[in-house]
Amino acid sequence: MVNGFVLADADSFYASCERVFDPGLAGRPVVVLSNNDGCVVARSREAKTLGVREGTPWFTMREFARMHGVVARSSNYELYASISRRMMRVMDRWLPGRVAYSIDECFLDPPRADADRTLRLMRHAILRGVGVPVTVTMAPTRTLAKLLSRWAKHEPGTGGAAVWDDLDPTLRETIMRSTPVGDVWGVGRRNAPRLTAMGLTTAARLRDADQGLIRHRFGVNLARTVLELNGTPCVDLAGGDAVDGHREHMIVYSRMFGRPVTDMDGLRAVAGVHAQHAAVRLRRQGSLARLVGAWAATSPYRADYRTAGGWLRPADPTDDPSEIAMLAARILADHCPTGLRWARAAVILTDLTDRDTYMTLPGLEPRLNEGLADAIDAINHRYGAMHAGIGYAGIRGQGRDDADTGADWRIRRTMLSPRATTRWDEIATVKAA
């Protein structure tokens, strides 16, 4: 049996998705903006070459973009999720054991033979079948696969695929020595400065560090990273799937607002919308929630920055969107004073249990309001999201926003590209020459 892990990581995923249905963007610098078109969250290779940095506020670079032909797009979450699912389905036809770590990358089981050829064929199939370029690497551990992927993306000679064991040992050592410790998967921004202060500035130095010392000073997770850099697999990714949406422990629905919410009616509407979306995910995976949380925050860029929230337990484990909405609204009413400029909020469902196997004493089974929830799900499945929902949520939007709330606090996406794979009225049109 072949040991190791395959990592497939899409290149500049959001920007690449924008190019799938707009070939005119090929070769042009493309940036994708965050909620409310705030700042740059994704850049094409051409935009990176121009020096555009991730996190740059859009309003500060509008003139730069005009002068250099940079194309900006609002985050098209519907398109990205759809293309991600298509990309994952292609991978499933090539290799088993997919674990989607994020929307644009996943780990797979290694091929039984001829690894390099298999990785390149899979990469070609994804590019041809979906239109998204992917870097595919294979290594003895997940951390080494991530390390190799980072190197392969910047090394044109690899052709977008590489196998760790096929590389010359001298080249492997060069990769380790040239990788800053802050870029090692599992280190994190908080640990990187501390490691650097200890002289552990590269992946190679972290690999050679005393494992007992690392565990004592930084904890077991970073000690596992050291083991992984030495070729011992010990990182477990169980607990959810970023693409299929299954979560074992917690479901969170969080969004920024298009404009601040200051009154309780607005917060109740937020609770209704967020609870409905969270409940859809909960019901889709066949779970019940035994604990409901809600949280809100003002803008972190204001002097009066503040967060507030809390938790409530339903009388029974539930997947009822109306009950979840009422609990979330009660939490926000109790903890979020009106008058403040709340900029974002979240509804959190946790302490999850399986709906079909939940066991309790006779007579204490959860009371489920199946009729209402099933009716909402059926209507929205047939006519589209938000066509039926919780009263707190208010009236749905119109036009391109008819799958969202009609409230003025919904996120702004003024440069949204067509959602060509999820809406009939925005489907791509092919013109034959």
Of residues 93 and 375, more confidence is placed in 93
Share of the chain above pLDDT 70, in %: 92
Per-residue pLDDT for 243 more than 70? no
What is the overall mean pLDDT for the chain?
Answer: 88
Domain 5-166 class in CATH: alpha beta
Question: Can you give the pLDDT at residue 378?
Answer: 84
Assign domain 169-230 to its CATH architecture: Orthogonal Bundle (1.10)
The mean per-residue pLDDT over the stretch 115-144 comes to: 95
Per-residue pLDDT for 309 more than 50? yes
pLDDT tens-digit readout, 266-298: 999 999 989 988 998 898 888 999 999 999 999
Question: Can you give the pLDDT at residue 315?
Answer: 86
Question: Can you give the pLDDT at residue 371?
Answer: 79
pLDDT tens-digit readout, 192-208: 999 999 999 999 999 99
For CATH 3.30.70.270, the residue range(s) in the chain are 5-166
Per-residue pLDDT for 1 more than 50? no
Of residues 190 and 240, more confidence is placed in 190
Question: Can you give the pLDDT at residue 407?
Answer: 76
- Cα 346 to its chain centre, rounded Å, is 15
Per-residue pLDDT for 303 more than 90? no
Per-residue pLDDT for 239 more than 60? no
Question: Can you give the pLDDT at residue 2?
Answer: 59
The mean per-residue pLDDT over the stretch 382-387 comes to: 76
Question: Can you give the pLDDT at residue 367?
Answer: 65
User: Which of 144-153, 180-189, 271-280, 397-406 has the lowest average pLDDT?
Assistant: 397-406
The mean per-residue pLDDT over the stretch 171-194 comes to: 92
Question: Can you give the pLDDT at residue 399?
Answer: 72
The mean per-residue pLDDT over the stretch 240-257 comes to: 77
- Structural contact between residues 202 and 176, judged by C-beta atoms closer than 8 angstroms: yes
For CATH 3.30.1490.100, the residue range(s) in the chain are 250-394
Q: From 3.30.1490.100, 3.40.50.300, 3.40.50.10470, 3.30.420.40, which CATH number describes the 250-394 domain?
A: 3.30.1490.100
For CATH 1.10.150.20, the residue range(s) in the chain are 169-230
pLDDT tens-digit readout, 50-79: 999 999 999 999 999 999 999 999 999 999
Instruction: Give helix 370-383 / helix 264-284 axis angle, nearest 10°.
Output: 90
pLDDT tens-digit readout, 339-375: 899 999 999 999 998 887 777 766 666 666 667 778 8
